[in-house]
Amino acid sequence: MKLFTSLTTDAYVENLGRPLFWRLLWRSIVIALAVTAVTLLLAYPAAYFISFKAGRFKNALLIVVSAPFFTSYLPRIFGGNADLGLRLRHDQGYAAQGPPPTTSSTAASSPRP
């Protein structure tokens, strides 16, 4: 069963009357509230401990806690460098061949403005 068939106001009105829509909405709200509660129950005590009780391990614990937030950037950085390296070699190959041929005779003779 498809929930949305097209992006029109009629489709929204139709789906608001379906029990499946309300079940999915309610399930999403319950999951969001549960995740928020678990996050609050874990994050505040951890932040308190790191702030006031960690002592000389404070910097190490801050790195351990914040490192997962940077992991999504690492594949992009390393992937971008690898891609850039391939692109540079590709462009150098074209540079060794010279400029591409023009298709019309006026393109080479007409000055640029």
CA–CA dist 64, 58 (Å, integer): 10
Q: Phi/psi at 103 (nearest 5 deg)?
A: -95, -25
Look up residue 29 and give its two tokens.
Answer: 């709200």
pLDDT in tens, 12-50: 888 888 899 899 999 999 999 999 999 999 999 999 999
Longest Cα separation, the chain: 77
Domain boundaries, the chain: 1-53, 58-97
Regarding pTM above 0.95, the answer is no
Binned at pLDDT 50, 70 and 90, residue 60 comes out as very high
